[in-house]
Amino acid sequence: MTTALGAIDLLTGYQAAAALTAASRLGIFDLTAGVPATAGQIATALGTDPGGTLSLLDSLVGLGLLERMDSRYAATALSARLGSAGDLRPVAEKEAFFARAWLDLADTVRTGRPRIAAWEERLVTDPDQCRDFLRALVVLATETGPDLAALVEPGARVVDLGGGLGSYAVPLARAGAEVRLIDLPAVAEWAGEELAAAPGITVEAVDLTGPGALAALGPGSADVALVSHLLHDYDDIALRLLRLAREVVREGGTVIVFELPGDPGEGDLEAFGPMFDLMMRVETPGRARRVEELIDLLLAAGFSSVERTGHPLPHAVLLAR
Ligand SMILES: C[S@@+](CC[C@H](N)C(=O)[O-])C[C@H]1O[C@@H](n2cnc3c(N)ncnc32)[C@H](O)[C@@H]1O
């Protein structure tokens, strides 16, 4: 049961996220990654307001993201990863972008409509944000994702449907799979650039919802099809995508579906699944289905057996044969 103070903490929770994003954008983590500097030196170097800079620096110390030694501030190993070249920087930008839409959550719940333009449209109007978003997914897969490579035999032919910038293609290929990463043309071009040096991965541009998708992929051409974080982007089309995945794998092959389902978890994870579902509803025309619904969807797509692996919530990894 949350107390009044707990509710106030929840309502002001955006402030810590905003402090982190501001510091990342202003270059504070770059500047403090080398020689520790005073607040005055940092404000001068960044051309920022001295009072605001001092409070931001002290807030970051309190949040565990900077260290203060006498009157000088230094980045930690973690906060350096939020610097301009840091791998966590795209995550900061992803969340800052979506935070604006979350302020209109009541509208999404009222109308059932997302607050953000469709992905295909954003790929044209805001490609930099889309690429950053996909880079953030690679980091999130590395930091929080399940070990999907453990489910695949070395040498297996894997087709990664909607593979983004290689969140799972990279670990699968490292484990010895031959991976074909499939995505929309704009994303396939970026993936081709970013994964050019990655052995074991080929990138192909195919619109999985287009009429020629199965012919382009090749019926029965894969031992394993991976469908990771794709179904939640779609409502009705999800069933069609699973039927396509079924036809792409050979007889006796496996389709691996990885989703963060909408089910409430336990303890600290109780709100995670439902909140993730809200995230999908705000950001996409889809939703985070619950585990039972995912299993029913796979059975409706024509699979004869569906097994859930032992990965606990917030993950659901389903093996369909
Ligand atoms: C949420 S991302 C997931 C990326 C990656 N699979 C992962 O788990 O991190 C969804 C990906 O599916 C791709 N995608 C969405 N619709 C698609 C379509 N119709 N054809 C091909 N790719 C599509 C998007 O471009 C994006 O890269």
Domain locations in the chain as residue ranges: 4-80, 119-320
> What is the model's pLDDT at position 105?
98
Q: DSSP letter at 152? A: S
Q: Is 23 exposed, middle or buried (0-12, 13-18, 19+ CB in 10 A)?
A: buried
pLDDT above 90: percentage of residues in the chain: 99
Q: What is the mean pLDDT of residues 142-152?
A: 97
| Sign of torsion over alpha carbons 288, 294, 213, 223 | positive
Per-residue model confidence as pLDDT tens digits over 244-288: 999 999 999 999 999 999 999 999 999 999 999 999 999 999 999
Ligand 1 nearest-atom number relative to CA 258: 8
Distance 159 CA to ligand 1 centre (A): 13
Res 96: pLDDT: 96
> Using an 8 Å Cβ cutoff, are 108 and 279 in contact?
no
Ligand 1: centre distance to CA 305 (Å): 25
Pairing of strands 306-308, 249-259: unpaired
Spatial contact of 258 and 146, defined as CB atoms under 8 Å apart: yes
CATH for the stretch 119-320: 3.40.50.150
pLDDT number for residue 2 = 85
Asked if pLDDT for residue 223 goes beyond 80, the answer is yes
List, for residues 68-85, the tens digit of each pLDDT value.
Answer: 999 999 999 999 899 999
Mean pLDDT of 20-32: 97
C-beta separation of 161 from 191 below 8 A:
no
Residues sharing a CB contact under 8 Å with residue 307, sequence separation 6 or more, in sequence order: 318, 319, 320, 321
Range 286-307 average pLDDT: 97
SS3 125: helix
DSSP 7-70: HHHHHTTHHHHHHHHHHHHHTHHHHTSSS-EEHHHHHHHHT--HHHHHHHHHHHHHTTSEEEET
Residues 6+ apart with CB under 8 A from 172: 148, 149, 152, 158, 160, 179, 226
Residue 141 CA: nearest ligand 1 atom is 9
Please check the confidence at residue 25 and state whether its pLDDT lies above 80.
yes
Phi, psi of 261, deg, nearest 5: -75, 165
Does residue 1 surpass a pLDDT of 80? no
What is the mean predicted confidence (pLDDT) over 125-146?
97
Instruction: Give dist(CA 51, CA 20) in Å, integer.
Output: 17
Question: Which pLDDT score is estimated for 114?
Answer: 97
Place of tokens 């992905």: 119
**pLDDT at position 307, please?**
98
**Res 226 pLDDT > 90:** yes
Among 93, 125, 105, 119, CA closest to 229: 119
Assign a CATH topology to domain 4-80.
Arc Repressor Mutant, subunit A (1.10.10)
Do 193 and 216 touch, CB atoms closer than 8 A?
no
- Protein residue whose Cα sits closest to atom 14 of ligand 1: 162
Compute the distance between CA of residue 98 and CA of residue 87 in angstroms, rounded to an integer: 19
Angle at which helices 89-102 and 127-144 pack, to 10 degrees? 110
Q: Which atom of ligand 1 is nearest to the CA of 209?
A: 19
Strands 201-205 and 178-183: parallel
pLDDT, averaged across the chain: 97
The pLDDT value given to residue 168: 98
User: Which residues sit with their C-beta closer than 6 Å to ligand 1?
Assistant: 134, 137, 141, 162-164, 167-168, 183-184, 187, 207-209, 228-230, 233
Widest Cα–Cα separation across the chain:
67
Asked if residue 191 lies in contact with residue 179, where contact means CB atoms within 8 angstroms, the answer is no
